Structure 1
Amino acid sequence: MVIGRIADGILRGVEGANDRVTGLFEPTIRLGVTGLARAGKTVFITSLVANLMDRARMPGLSGTANGAIRAAWLQPQPDDTIPRFAFEEHLSDMTGPAPHWPDSTRAISELRLSLKVQPQGMLGSVSGLRTVHLDIVDYPGEWLLDLALMEQDFAGWSCGMIEAAEGRPEAAPYREALAGLDPTAEFTETAAQGLARAYTAYLAAARKAGYADCSPGRFLMPGDLEGSPALTFAPVPPGEGRFPRGSLGREMERRFDAYKGQVVRPFFRDHFSRMDRQVVLVDLLGAIHAGPHAVADLGETMERILGAFRHGKRSWLTSLIGARRVDRLLFAATKADHLHHTQHARMTAIMAALLRGAKDQADFAGAKTRALAIASLRATVEEMREHDGEQLGMVRGRLLDTGKEVMLWPGELPEDPARILKPARAGGGAWLDGDYGLMRFAPAPVVLKPGEGPPHIRLDQAADFLIGDRLR
């Protein structure tokens, strides 16, 4: 048995050395794709992979423009315990005879795309082709909310969540449940489950109303943890000092700590510690359409989430990641095809201004950042129409709810981002000079020619920023 253990140790050492040698000659880029609800993570990954495999629509990707990418093919992902991202199924949903949007992300998944690259420059003429692996990790955006939760204790988290709920009509049933609650009373499972159900229902209603800060994230996407004690707790008003042993409040606190320690921490330890590049997808137009409250909440939520990546901050995430850092961070406002291209620069400017604090943190730490307006799958076409002597940029597409094809003017974003951000940060109830209407479009039928991926807007620029430097 001793000889067997020695042999196993030698074998593991050899495997580890092989992995390091493979990483030297076949470098791997691990790309994390994150974002909050309805941001379009599944569509982004599907279209990105399809367009990297068939690159006729990717002129903005340097590896395409200079001919460095010679081939691309899918391989089994390296993590045997993570489900494979259902690329073929999602692509069929988006581009098949009856195109429709694929199901949203409900669990973590991964996909490996390998690229055969001819190095450029002086060494390129004498060196042969090399392989670069792109490992894309997808997970529900709701789980991202738990980044901000990790550094809070139960009392502080409860106070923040209860305060936020006070101004939201969606929280009325939960506030009613709290009103008749004594956290110091003896714990019963019935009371815990009733309160957790009321709080979860409030989170679901708040998300539907456009709020982004709906934590804990797994309450909205529980997976196989549904009904477990780790997901059966809720914020309760803090008392003076700790709750007594055996009380409802004490058990809520214990389950909150268990959620952080047994659910959240392992996930980020096992996955975030290995990320090289990150894209954060944001449904900016959806937040604007929902109103100033949704824009303000989105900005505050993203600031808290991305603040965990700040260098120099001694946080739980810093200790897990160690010396490795995400060195490129893309903030992508999705659904740019809902606007005429003449408004895309304004959309990008609002996105950059909304996340200015998080961007400054990343820039100061040495990471490269960029804000971009994109459409992973273009669902509309543009037209110019004259109205009252004025030329208006219109978009035409098929409505998701009715299937009817319409042409509309979606409104105009302000040239100055402050006209959006100022009323949002001031707590305004509605926009003063427009309602910023938003329609939901279904995917348009598309016939792909050989070598073409799905139509998009600036996906090639997004890809070039995220991985272009590693394809030279």
Structure 2
Amino acid sequence: MLVKENRRKGKALIINDIADRILRGVETVQDGVNEALFEPVIRLGVTGLSRAGKTVFITSLVANLLDRGRMPQLGGSAAITAAYLQPQPDDTVARFDYEAHLAALTAPDPHWPQSTRAVSELRLSFKVQPTGLLGAISGPRTVHLDIVDYPGEWLLDLGLMDKSYADWSVQALADAQARDEGAAFLEALGCVDAGAPHSEPDAKALAEPFTAYLNAARAAGYSDCTPGRFLLPGEMAGSPVLTFAPLPEGSAPRGSLRREFERRFEAYKREVVRPFFRDHFAKIDRQIVLVDALGAIHAGPKAVEDLRRTMADILSAFRPGRVGRLFALLGQKKVERILFAATKADHIHHSQHARLTAIMEALVREARDRADYSGAATSAMSIAALRATVEETRDHGGQTLDLVRGRVADGQGGSKQAAFYAGELPQDPAHILAPARQGATAWLGDEYGVMQFLPAQMTLRPHEGPPHIRLDRAAEFLIGDKL
């Protein structure tokens, strides 16, 4: 009787699962038809690696799309008759707290808002008046922009889907051995017998120093620090799915620590990575990847090479290309446009912006080639979503220096004005990338600095958003064709 009851329950679960998939398929088709024929929806994914400025980018982008006085390069802005925020369509995802973040940036004593910790969304809707004969007949139409904000660390996790535990361990251990921050974890690894029976104290004795190493590596400027949820665990902190670490090759008898870590790695992909891809990432059709290239250059050649490899790996997570109208009606999405943006362009003089853009293009060359081959439109540029500095020129020791000046912390809870010269970026990006690829540990004869500027105090005039550098060009590439 018990066997029959279990079979009955199993059949019921299978039937319920099939019914749920059919229902989701019908809803997807309905949404696709509505978006394609009536009110187009642009789903813009915004991500970036640590300290790239995702929150500031979204806040400034929304403010400048609501008040478009500083967006002359957004070609479709002339057709926008109204722009307004609306409730987001997904009731289960946190709303991006635009108002609080804008208040932080425009306060009398402005400060940077809190960084991205989880997925959030915001819907910005436009009333657009088509031009020509069609516009006279149809009248204004509505275009929705759904901005999806998610941590860059989670994007890197998508690359784990095609890796086995053994493959991931080989790469993770090689990275730990090449980074000074991995020393404590490697020491702990030498004290554990991975082939011995699994015990939770042994698992924690490796997972904790491994997590500490990932956090230290990220703070040191490295980009590839997977698994990403180890850095942003949220409600999963302390769970078995976040309690594993890479192990060297060896025997894996049943019940051993290595076998258990392999099982947890697969559970991480199944229970953490795959739901994120299914529920959020797979629905994106435009994407911007924000990169703190200046921070990587400041951190040194190892960080630059790590960033280059990371940019190449990121494209494996996308499904770049164009989707035909029929597939669009069925709700199938592909990323049609991808922008790689070097942020914090306001930290260097405008005379060096072209050099920063060239370095960014070289960093993502391999990634862009993959996407271009698949039919996606890609671009690279240098931007500052919120301009925090002004420029000035000074004579120093008989040399003319192009500087930037802005607010910095004074160490006593206040701020002061400081002028800064970051160093001169090379005209040829190979002078940066070649030493990085060759394993250099420091730049020869050059020093590249980074200043941690605070937001500038500002008073926004009517119909103008916050000051920026090339945010309008970024918006034009990402959504201009839809307006």
Same fold (TM over 0.5): yes
Q: Which amino acid aligns with 1:257?
A: E
1:364 aligns with 2:373: yes
What letter corresponds to residue 121 of structure 2 in structure 1? E
What root-mean-square deviation, in Å, do the aligned CA atoms of Structure 1 and Structure 2 show?
Answer: 2.1
Within the alignment, does 1:268 sit opposite 2:277 as a pair? yes
* CA–CA distance in structure 1, aligned partners of residues 130 and 105 of structure 2: 34
Q: Report whether the alignment pairs 1:233 with 2:244.
A: yes
Name which of 392, 400, 411 aligns with 1:391.
400
- Residue number in structure 1 paired with 2:54: 41
2:291 matches 1:282? yes
Structure 1 residue 86 and structure 2 residue 77: aligned? no
The residue number in structure 1 matching 2:347 is: 338
1: distance between equivalents of 2:26 and 2:277? 26
Indicate whether 1:160 and 2:181 are aligned. no
For 1:206 and 1:17, how far apart are their aligned partners in 2? 45
Count of residue correspondences: 451
Amino acid at match of 1:407: A
Distance 1:170 1:427, change over 3 A: same
CA drift of 1:53 comes to 0.2
- Calculate the TM-score normalised by the size of structure 1: 0.92
d(CA) in 2 for partners of 1:36 and 1:297?
12
The code of the aligned residue for 1:33 comes to: V
Deviations along 1:303-361, whole A, 9 cap, x unmatched? 1121333669xxxxxxxx99531010000000000001110000000000011001011
What do residues 111-165 of structure 1 show as CA deviations (whole Å, max 9, x unaligned)? 0000111112442233311110000000111111202222110111111111111
Asked if the contact 1:336–1:375 (Cα under 8 Å) also holds between the matched residues in 2, the reply is yes
SS of the residue aligned with 2:171? helix
Alignment match, 2:159: 148
Does the 8 Å CA contact 1:310/1:361 hold for their aligned counterparts? no
Contact 2:320 2:335 in 1 (8 A): no
Aligned to 2:131: 120
The answer to whether structure 1 residue 197 and structure 2 residue 181 are counterparts is no
Amino-acid identity (%):
63
Q: Which of 355, 372, 376 is residue 385 of structure 2 equivalent to? A: 376
**Cα distance in 2 for residues equivalent to 1:172 and 1:13:** 52
1:426 aligns with 2:438: yes
Does structure 2 conserve the Cα–Cα contact (< 8 Å) formed by 1:396 and 1:407? Answer: yes
Question: Which letter does structure 2 place at the counterpart of 1:28?
Answer: V
Residue 339 of structure 1 aligns to which amino acid in structure 2?
I
Q: Deviations over 1:261-318 (max 9, x none)?
A: 0110111111122111000000000000000000000110121121333669xxxxxx
Q: What stretches of structure 1 move > 6 A for 4+ residues in a row?
A: 12-16
Counterpart CA distance in 2 for 1:278 and 1:212 is 19
Letter in 1 for 2:124: L
Shift of 1:414: 0.4
Query: Gaps (5+ residues) in structure 2?
Result: 1-18, 322-329
Structure 1: runs of 5+ lacking an equivalent: 1-5, 313-320
Contact 2:184–2:213 (CA under 8 A) maintained in structure 1: yes
Which letter maps to 1:156?
Answer: D
2:108 and 2:457 in contact (8 A); partners too: yes
Indicate if the aligned counterparts of 1:36 and 1:144 stay in contact, CA closer than 8 A.
no
Matched, 1:29 2:42: yes
What residue in structure 2 maps to residue 62 of structure 1?
Answer: 75
Q: 1:85 to 1:322 in 2, by over 3 A?
A: closer
> Contact (CA 8 Å) 2:339, 2:380: kept in 1 or not?
yes
Task: Deviation per CA, 1:197-251: give whole Å up to 9, x if none.
Answer: 01000101111111111110000000111111100000011214xx111111111
Contact kept in structure 2, 1:401 and 1:440, CA below 8 Å: no
Please give the secondary structure, in 2, of the residue aligned with 1:60: coil
Is it true that 1:136 corresponds to 2:158 in the alignment?
no
Name the SS for the 1:145 alignment partner.
helix
